[in-house]
Every structure is written in C-alpha cells, then in structure tokens.
C-alpha cells in the first residue's frame, strides 16, 4: 500500500468507527439512513460501508418484509457481525475490568460488592413497574422483555417445574469470572422481582451458550410432576446444568458466587 493510501485509511478510521457505532446503537440501517443520521453524503457512507463489509465488521442483508412489498427492490440494511460487535465489547470489557480492579484494590472486595448491589438496585427500580404490572405467572416473561431492552436477548422457556429465564447475550462476559459479586447481585434482583427462590444453572462466562436461571412455579410444587412440559416459549436452547446456587428473594448475602456480570 502506498504512503498516501495508508494515510487515507488512517484519516477514514474515525468516520468508519462512527458508522459502525451508529449501527451498534440503532440496529440494522440503510446507507441513506446512516447518511442522514451522521450528516454525511450517501456516497461517503457507502464507501465506508464497503470497507467495513470487506473487513468483516458488517454484512449486508435484505430487509425483513411485513405485509405486501411495494414495487422496486428494497435498499439493503447493514448489520454488525459477531466480529464487529466483539470490537466494541472488548473495549468495554477492558474498561470495566480496569475500573473494578482499581475499586477492589482501593476498597477491597466489599467495595465491589457494594458497587454491584447499587448498580443492580438501579436496574431493579427500572424493571419493577413492568414486572409488577402483569400477573405473577407472567412475571418471568416481563423480566425477560426488560432484559432484552437492555441488550441481554432474554427469553423464557417452560421447564418441568416452573420456568427457565435465558439470557443469550452478556455484553461483558469476559469480565464475569473475575468479579462474581456482580452476578450475585443480579441474581438477587431476579429473586426479589419475581418473589421466588431462583437458581442459576449455567453462565456464558463459564463457557455455556446461555445464562440460565431456574424460576420455580410455587403452584406446580404442590402437585406431582408440576407442569411436566419442556416445550420452549421461544427458540432459546436449554443450557447444560452446573451445580446450582439457590437465591431467596430476601437473601442479601448469597454464599456461593456465580460468574456473571451486568453491564
């Protein structure tokens, strides 16, 4: 590559990052929408998109069609690939890990625990209205919807006794094993919001594909076999089981840490 070409690539990098970050923040986007959002010309946006596709950070897809499609071919939308998303996630992981290490060194593990509980208390306050607005039997699904809005791609599947709350994405999974206090605090919040004992069965941080939390149905415990149904309510795969830790809605200091983290 010539010197001028190398210089052009460096000059384009900040704008290219803006294009990718806009797609990360807003989801699948057309070139025209990106141009409007970033105050760039459509030609400039398409040039950056082409480079990002070649680099493997983006891929072009046909937009989803709902109802009758009009005449003409719809504009393609651009989405982040796993590789492109990992670029952002790794940066957040490094920052989170550095900050938590400093906090632990300055204040000890108790400081990390205090931070974890404060952080998840904020989530609890935001989630509670949505969770309490539905019947008790639907609260796991309401919690899954709230988690999905925060980027956890959550779903619920029926288990033989109760439900399994599945989180298919963890934005900072690489940090989770180092700071289990954050996972403990998250699981405590689930228990309080749902008003039940919960068990964390599997985590992305431990190499499982999904973070899975078992949510027992109190009514099903009174009869033999419970629901007896394992049909999923979503396409979520059932994660393998690890030794489980129970959490009670009133438990503020669980004894066994679990490797998960909230973003």
Please give the full DSSP string across 160-188, using - where no structure is assigned: SSSEEEEE---TTHHHHTT-HHHHHHHHH
Rounded to the nearest angstrom, the gap between the alpha carbon of residue 90 and the centroid of all alpha carbons in its chain is 14
Domains detected in the chain = 3-63+75-80 (1.10.10.10), 86-247 (3.90.1520)
| Residue 180 backbone class (left: φ over 0; alpha: ψ -120 to 50; beta: rest) | alpha
- Taking only the tens of pLDDT, the chain with its 263 residues reads 445 444 444 567 899 999 998 887 777 899 999 999 999 999 999 999 999 999 999 999 887 554 455 566 678 999 888 788 777 777 777 888 899 999 999 999 999 999 989 988 999 999 999 999 999 999 999 999 999 888 788 999 998 888 999 987 777 677 777 888 878 888 999 999 999 999 999 877 777 767 889 999 876 545 444 443 334 444 333 444 444 445 555 444 333 333 333 43
CB–CB of 152/228 below 8 Å? Answer: no
> Would the pTM of this model clear 0.85, i.e. be above it?
no
Residues 6 or more apart from 219 whose CB is under 8 A from it? none
């Amino acid at each position: 590559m010539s010197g001028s070409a190398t210089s052009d690539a460096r000059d384009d990098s900040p704008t290219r990052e803006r294009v990718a970050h806009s797609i990360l923040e807003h989801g699948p986007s057309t070139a025209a929408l990106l141009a409007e959002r970033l105050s760039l010309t459509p030609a400039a946006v398409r040039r950056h998109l082409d480079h990002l596709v070649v680099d493997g950070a983006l891929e072009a897809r046909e937009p989803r069609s709902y109802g009758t499609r009009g005449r003409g071919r719809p504009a393609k939308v651009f989405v982040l690939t796993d590789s492109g998303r990992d670029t952002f996630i790794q940066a957040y992981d490094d920052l989170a890990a550095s900050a938590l290490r400093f906090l632990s060194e300055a204040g000890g593990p108790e400081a990390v625990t205090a931070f974890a509980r404060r952080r998840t208390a904020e989530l609890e306050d935001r989630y509670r209205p949505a969770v309490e607005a539905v019947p008790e039997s639907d609260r796991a699904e309401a919690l899954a919807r709230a988690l999905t809005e925060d980027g956890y791609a959550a779903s619920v599947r029926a288990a033989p006794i109760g439900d399994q709350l599945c989180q298919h994405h963890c934005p900072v999974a690489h940090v989770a094993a180092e700071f289990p206090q954050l996972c403990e605090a998250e699981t405590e919040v689930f228990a309080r919001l749902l008003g039940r004992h919960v068990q964390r069965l599997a985590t992305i941080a431990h190499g499982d594909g999904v973070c899975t939390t078992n949510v027992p149905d109190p009514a099903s415990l009174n009869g033999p076999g419970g629901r007896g149904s394992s049909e999923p309510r979503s396409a979520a795969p059932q994660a393998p089981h690890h030794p489980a830790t129970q959490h009670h809605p009133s438990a503020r200091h669980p004894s066994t840490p679990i490797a998960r983290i909230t973003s």
